[in-house]
Structure 1
């Protein structure tokens, strides 16, 4: 397989760097010439001076190289791989160790030739030197701008730049900066200040920009996009702004370098020196009184979803007090737009999940004996469709080969381009088919049920938190919580969706959260002949176990197991004195 490595730098001006698309096209061209399957490894917006482990796609490529799945590597030039001589030495050594061919700009480079190796090392030094010089020039330019009181980069909140690149107060934002300091001096906390500004619809720094912001969930690793125009104030942002001396007109360069730190007084400032000093003195006292911030473990972050608004529930623990809970994001500042949901006790819901997954025998039997997941059916249908598409592509390639062998047509550029593009489509389709086959296998009985059995049986009462969390997140796809208030009491309805299964379980509990009633276990009816046959066998086994004679007439109009099974008498009971606490 040909690995196509592409990289762009973070701060390159448009038109001054190879685009990812340009780099990919060069790699595809080589893949066609060599008749190899290919895979893209893309590090976008990353410096070539970074180490291998700090560039995710380069690290993945080196890992695949060590596994023996890569035979050739393409990049548009050596500077894409590195601007760091250590990286180059490691890269070239691994290529030699695994007999992998290297093709900068599509031309094979002999890593065993002494002269070539010397030239590559020389080029590596040039790349490293170029990166350092470029970085030094940028820093020097910004340093000179700082000394002159000029702006560079993103302007601080409350300021704008004038026609001479000087700082100028932007009153539309500066009024809110002054308000932050006034409120803080009154003893109001930063999170309360954020709520006040959000209620007044005060614009944030991002609100004047178009586009979206991407954030990765630290628990689920899912990437969510937000409109910049919708970004709200948060307490930690307010705190950082109150600490920033730019608001009293002091611009700092190299703030973390004691020897090279430079402070420049601007000709404008939003607040007085005296107000800044008073507010920050109060902040320092508050921080000292708070004490060291505690680090907590949250077993279910990333799994629980609000049944009312669809937001996720997040855990919140306090050093003092008993209000440790999972609460909907729609109930937390700055949102507060989900009035119907209710927080749920953190230790109780975590212990309920542990009991249900690892200590309830019925669940283990239900999942391990479950028929083939309906979730795999659309994937299998897609796989069949893609395989048929591949057969047609193979026939198309054969036809084009025959046409190109014809002396009258061998120079026809149209046929040549069709042949090349069809081969590229075939390579991509093969990769897609491989991915689909893996996904189908994960969801079907052969590996799914044995994997589930292993996960459940791995749990013991003395394993560490990180391992318990891995097991829980491997078995559960989501936990949806819906709250229903009735006079002075209320109930939670909990729906657990199991990973790689169509199965779901429904529970209810009251506000005390000590007894969790297992009401139903849900599975869709059989959707194909194979699944129906499995359900018939299970039906016969149930009759035999209960001593009831089985009659073939019982199968008339039978469509498989019932959609919902009642779990009468089943419950998970918690002893408040025996709850597992992770902190």
Structure 2
């Protein structure tokens, strides 16, 4: 594939046409002559003297060049000034393509690596590639995360959305109506393929139909790459399924762990009705699928890691590992667990009893959230001070060079060191900011949890129960051992420890347990209704563990 990079600043050189269309046309000509597919990278109103971090399309080009799935074999720019106007940018870019044996073309022909400067470049490429290219790849992600925190969106947006003039997400009216139609048809009992066929029969355009060029992908089960014209891409059942499952249509969008403002297209009631209809398999004829499984989206097999979902066999409803559904896959051998026992245990243990609030409160108290927030903020300030000092040091070095105190060759290695240190610190800064956001959200979680639990009643509806469970519990891992069911619960609270439990096979006695299986204690809500014989057994188990 040929990557065509086009850039234009506010001014044009006298007597020279540097328009984006001209640059693009020259690149397309080269693509045709080399018989290559192409992808465009366009920076408009961007100076070549700006830092790489301020050139979005150039950033994307570097990211694609260093990606493990990179399919780019050749890069084209009208001339070298389109790509770089500083030694640092030149070194970074040329190192990235040299290491990966990527050809570089200008309008004058293929780039010549034999000039004197490139002879010097060859001697330092191995070192600078580590310091610049790989760090640049990480920094690209860091800059995009910073943009995400400001609400700015990047990449191809979900169907039904577009960018506004401030690069924020907005609703695309025509596509949004089609999204609503997909949800409506699903509620009427239409399956993925039936909706797909209907849309294709009506010649409804897909998102890709708006773009030119080709899409290259690796077909499953094949070693080679396959290409298709974007104008020929039609709807398929995967598109429909992804739309019906995407919570972005509720106004919930996350990018790199950052929550972004996003207008909703579908209301929560409609989304959940579709979700439960699909998850419970109502479209499968001949099956009793009216039962709604509370934990279907959370349970995981503790032996093989596959989903642990609800199912009915005869008159018995249970959760079981989905490995039994695949004929060509070895069954992991995990046992079944009664639906009512597992769902009642989770709901009554954590929500109805308000035990989850106590656990979260204790977690925040023991982890010193306020102190941790203060510590992270001080760490962020320390990194920022270090970066300011490094930038000041870099400026002084350049000034001394301009005054003739040092030769340019004397400070080149020092500038590389400073730039690498700044990049390294920027990565640390991004991580620290993400960590700070997680801790700040933890305090909000406690307030939300208190409010949510206060509204719980005995006759609370299924939809609300499932929303609460999925809001605060991330995963439930289940293993059936010869002695017990072992249950591990992971929460959606930053750095909160997992909870470990053991439950007897007859579901009448459950224990809290540590990570190593020690310190077993009967759960109060469950043991309160046990018969004397069971209570005696519980006491004996406790004494055995203590001994």
Bigger CA radius of gyration = 1
Fold shared per TM-score above 0.5? no
Normalising by the residue count of structure 2, what TM-score does the alignment of the two structures yield?
Answer: 0.43
